[in-house]
Amino acid sequence: MLAVLRHRAYRRLFAAQVVALAGTGLATVALGLLAYDLAGARAGAVLGTALAVKMLAYLLVGPAATALAERLPRRTLLVAMDVARALVALALPFVTEVWQVYGLVLVLQSASAAFTPTFQAVIPEILPDEADYTKALSLSRLAYDMESLFSPALAAALLSLVGYQWLFTGTAAGFAASALLVVSVVLPKLAPRGKVKRANGFRLYAAVPRLRGLILAHLAVAAATAMVVVNTVVLVRDVLGRGDGDTAVALGACGTGSMLAALALPRLLARTGDRAVMLPAAAVLAAGLSVLAAALRWELLGWTGLLVLWAVLGAATGAILTPTGRLVASAAAPHERPAAFAAQFSLSHGWFLLTYPAAGWLAAQAGTGTAAAALAAAAVAAWIAGTVVWPAEPVSTPRTCGDGSPGPRRRSRRPAAPGAPRR
């Protein structure tokens, strides 16, 4: 897997992703504690609303970012968004009202909604070989797990020395380091505007069955992630009566599960394919949330049980998120990828606009057990619907391309010339 780091440009972009996400992980812990300071036992409701604002920014800004990426040099856009995120992180320690949290989260996540799809669309251009790209996706998943494993561990250590407000400074430092690394890379140029027809990523998702199944699998991910992100601080502090540091440890357990899944996936995907991994993972998410709901209902949840459940949910989440880029890249021609990744970003995060408020407000009004049960029902529905709309593809059947036309099976895929028809 690490062999892909021999590519100089990818190595620096991967490093940029690692440091930015490490900083984001510090912000995740700090934001939960800030919400608890501002709202006490209703921290879940505050955090759920803040994360819903985040997803609203993703939904609205993601598609617009595609047009922005076509007009600005991509390196300039990525660096500008990193700088904007760093400035917002520096402002967060000074908030005193809940509405200020919502406003800063909106600005921060609007910048992320422009940054992330642009970043994702660059990687398959730098690594056109499918085997290299699959390894890069696993490494990318590991980078995301830094947000929920290394960062919470670092946060726990820092919290023993300083107040949580200082964690936001670490977030700003991560974004600044990311900007410097992106500046050091020469990115491939997009085809000149007017030579290719502008792609519509949402139409692509409507036309391709495996992409519809992918989006439904992301509903199961959104249900589990919302429960973990929104209610971990409530479960640890109020249900189990533990301290701030244990909030970071619980989030780290989820990251550990996701990391183990990412390490195992390159070989597993080569043997079984994407569908055979992702849909069973959605079923595991549904089962894990159901077990959590039952444990809370009957007051059986303990500290060890929470860590095990969070690790299982993390592993199943990683099994869905890691292959996502493969599916999106295989369904789109090179000039369509920015639009395809922007649509993926908006559609997948759109589910969080529902699950984050549900996790927060249901927990505040009816208890965490009710919130877990509702999210489990959503995950079950996503798994069943995904199994129906994403039909199994026999190994001997040629793959189809994004427009539904048949295409040859191949081990690696190199980008076609801009404007070339998809096979």
* C-alpha to C-alpha distance for 326 and 131, rounded to whole angstroms: 10
Per the domain annotation, does 100 fall within a domain?
yes
The alpha helices in 72-129, defined as continuous H runs, are 74-91, 98-126
**What is the pTM (predicted TM-score) of this model?**
0.71
* Neighbouring C-beta atoms of residue 389, cutoff 10 Å: 15
For 322, the token pair is 């890691």
List residues bridging with 6 in a β-sheet.
Answer: none
> DSSP secondary-structure letter at 7?
S
Counts of helices then strands in the chain (DSSP H, E): 16, 0
Any domain includes 234 = yes
DSSP string, 237-285: IIIS---HHHHHHHHHHHHHHHHHHHHHHHHHHHHH-HHHHHHHHHHHH
Could you give the dihedral angle defined by the CA atoms of residues 257, 262, 268 and 273, in that order, rounded to the nearest 10 degrees? 110
118 lies in a domain?
Answer: yes
> What gap in Å lies between CA 367 and CA 297, rounded to an integer?
9
pLDDT at 70: 67
Question: How far is residue 396's CA from residue 381's CA, in Å, rounded to a whole number?
Answer: 30
φ, ψ of residue 406 to 5 degrees: the values are -70, 145
Position 278 in a domain: yes
Identify the CA nearest to 48 among candidates 342, 318, 368, 382: 368
Q: Are 393 and 273 in contact (CB under 8 A)?
A: yes
For residue 144, tell me if it sits in a domain.
yes
Residue 81 included in any domain: yes
Residue 18: predicted pLDDT:
83
Confirm whether 413 is domain-assigned: no
Joined together, the tokens standing for residue 198 give: 């502008």
Position 331 in a domain: yes
pLDDT one digit per residue (tens) for the chain, 423 residues: 677 888 888 899 888 888 887 777 777 777 777 777 776 666 667 776 777 787 777 777 766 766 676 677 888 889 999 999 999 888 888 887 777 878 888 888 888 878 887 888 788 888 888 778 878 888 887 777 666 566 666 777 777 777 777 788 888 998 999 999 999 888 877 655 544 455 567 788 888 898 999 999 999 999 999 999 889 988 998 899 898 778 878 988 988 898 888 888 888 888 888 999 999 999 999 999 999 999 999 999 999 999 999 999 999 999 999 889 888 878 777 777 777 887 887 788 888 888 988 998 899 899 999 999 999 999 999 999 999 999 886 543 334 443 443 443 334 343 343 343 333
CATH number at residue 238: 1.20.1250.20
The domain of 215 spans: 2-185+199-389
Domain count, the chain: 1
The answer to whether 167 and 299 are in contact (CB under 8 A) is no
**Amino acid letter, 245:** G
